Amino acid sequence: MPSETLWEIAKAEVEKRGSEGDGLEIGEKSVFFIGSKNGGKTTIILRCLDRDEPPKPTLALEYTYGRRAKGHNIPKDIAHFWELGGGTSLLDLISIPITSDNLRTFSIVLVLDLSKPNDLWPTMENLLQATKSHVDKMIMKLGKTNSKAVSEMRQKIWSNMQKDHPDRELVDPFLIPLVIIGSKYDIFQDFDSEKRKVICKTLRFVAHYYGASLMFTSKSEALLLKVRGVINQLAFGIDKSKSICVDQNKPLFITAGLDSLSQIGSPPIPDNDIGKLHAHSPMDLWKKVYERVFPPKSTNTLKHIKDPARDPQYAEGEVDEMRIQKDQELEQYKRSSSKSWKQIELDS
């Protein structure tokens, strides 16, 4: 008898909610990992789930789950982990795991590869904009049927920042928890100090503006444990850490709401150059300053993405033969169509 698929196991877990634990509620949360291609998202997920296995490339959208016991004879909490592969090439898939039904228990983790600073801003910008756009749509949808829930979400996010915080009117937080993780700190720490300063200050501004927590990690066990603690807080409601490290010579660790624009400072550029950048918002100003130091390498993110249909590890004899046949038919159709149009042009 074939073993159950991951989807069947997940479905069974959900169906058991009504029968486990004498009617006690089972806590369920979802965490969605997005970010740089090969940035270490899978490694972080496996570490959080105590799975000792080598990470495999994520080609599209992948799902797994974890369970955590709350106590004796109490149903286990369930955490759903989603991961978007391909960097910024599969933005349309962002809408699949985020729904108006699970929005109130959903969190986003953005993993950025610190070792590739030229790709960092476009990756961050594209993913955050696409995610925020969809989250906003789901909030509007939820608001039509449950305005109280939306109001509670807003209050919860704004509670991360003290009521007398001087930046309350200057930021625009995600209405669901957001964590930004800078990976491969072991490589980043060897960068020139001025370059590290630009990256650190920029990420601090973006995280603070969007109401996100920010932390750097690497293969270091100590750093991975810190990240695991933060992810467990998102997934299982473990107590949130209040520690903070803003020293650019050390791995950053800043919990949402604990930073400020005055501590971050102005963008690292001479004052007389700021006016020349013609920025239309603070975020645009930081972008222009960052890209002066780290210009984007390429705007074409699709050409670097491997075609899963041609990946040997997914080979299927009969399917591949049919694919080849259909490709040949398509090419023949294109050629015949091209000849037909040319003939029409000649006749006219």
pLDDT recorded at residue 282: 92
Residue 332, in any domain of the structure: no
The pLDDT tens digits for 1-35 are 456 676 666 656 655 544 443 333 447 899 999 99
Q: Give which of 218, 250, 215 is closest to 234, Cα–Cα.
A: 215
User: In the chain, what percentage of residues exceed pLDDT 70?
Assistant: 78
Is the residue at 259 inside a domain?
A: yes
Buried/exposed 120-147: b ≥16 CB within 10 Å, e otherwise: bbbbbebbbebbbebbeebbeebeeeee
Residue 124 has pLDDT above 70, yes or no: yes
The mean pLDDT of the chain is: 84
Residue 76 is predicted with a pLDDT of 80
Question: What per-residue confidence (pLDDT) applies to 54?
Answer: 81
Residue 98: inside a domain:
yes
Whether 251 and 245 have beta carbons less than 8 Å apart is answered as yes
What mean pLDDT comes out for the span 80-94?
Answer: 91
Q: Are 286 and 295 in contact (CB under 8 A)?
A: no
Report pLDDT for 299: 53
In this predicted structure, what is the pLDDT of residue 305?
47
Per-residue CA distances from 5 to 11, 12, 28, 63 (Å): 10, 11, 20, 11
- Could you give the CA distance from residue 152 to residue 93 in angstroms, rounded to a whole number? 27
For every residue of 84-122, DSSP letters joined together read E-STTTTGGGGGTT--TTTGGGEEEEEEEETT-HHHHHH
Q: What total number of domains does the chain contain?
A: 1
296 occurs within a structural domain = no
Q: What does the pLDDT read at residue 24?
A: 36
Q: What angle do CA 29, 30, 35 make, to 5 degrees?
A: 150
Angle ∠(185,191,193) on CA atoms, nearest 5: 110
Q: What percent of the chain has pLDDT over 90?
A: 56
The DSSP code sequence of 333-347 is HHHHHHHHHHHHHHH
Can you list the positions of beta strands (E) in the chain?
Answer: 28-35, 61-68, 77-84, 106-113, 178-183, 213-216, 244-245, 253-254
Q: Give the integer Cα–Cα distance in Å for 61 and 84.
A: 5
With 90 as the cut, is the pLDDT of residue 165 above it?
Answer: yes
CATH number at residue 174: 3.40.50.300
Lowest-pLDDT range of 69-73, 109-113, 130-134, 203-207: 69-73
- Asked if the structure places residue 275 within a domain, the reply is no
- Return the higher-pLDDT residue of 16 and 93: 93
Question: What pLDDT was estimated at residue 11?
Answer: 59
39: which 2 tokens?
A: 């940035």
Q: Within 13 Å of residue 237, how many CA atoms lie on the same side as its CB? A: 12
Q: Give residue 20's pLDDT.
A: 42
Q: Is the pLDDT of residue 339 over 90?
A: no
Q: Are 177 and 157 in contact (CB under 8 A)?
A: yes
Task: Kindly state the average pLDDT of the residues 88-113.
Answer: 93
Those residues with Cβ within 8 angstroms of residue 288's Cβ, 6 or more apart along the chain or in another chain: 277, 279
The pLDDT of residue 302 is above 50: no
Give the number of other CB atoms < 10 A from CB of residue 168: 12
- What is the C-alpha to C-alpha distance for residues 9 and 16, in angstroms, rounded to an integer? 11
40-52 confidence digits (pLDDT tens): 999 999 888 888 7
The pTM for the full model equals 0.79
Q: Alpha-carbon dihedral of residues 240, 241, 247, 251, nearest 10 degrees?
A: -80
What local confidence, expressed as pLDDT, does residue 21 receive?
39
Three-state DSSP class for residue 306: coil
Bridge partners (DSSP) listed for residue 84: 61
Q: Is 285 part of any domain? A: no
Residue 168 domain flag: yes
Q: For the residues of 149-180, what is the DSSP string, one character each?
A: HHHHHHHHHHTTS-TT-TTTTT----SS-EEE
- pLDDT category of residue 210 using cuts at 50, 70 and 90: very high
Whole domain around residue 33: which residue ranges? 26-266
Is 1 within the bounds of a domain? no
Closest CA to 112 of 278, 252, 304: 252
C-alpha closest to that of 218 among 264, 267, 253 = 253
Q: What is the pLDDT of residues 242-290, one digit of tens each?
A: 779 999 999 999 999 999 999 999 998 876 777 777 888 999 999 999 9
Model confidence band, residue 75 (pLDDT cutoffs 50, 70, 90)? confident
Gap between the Cα atoms of 88 and 110, Å rounded: 12
Give the three-state DSSP class for 13. helix
**End-to-end distance of the chain based on CA atoms, in angstroms?**
66
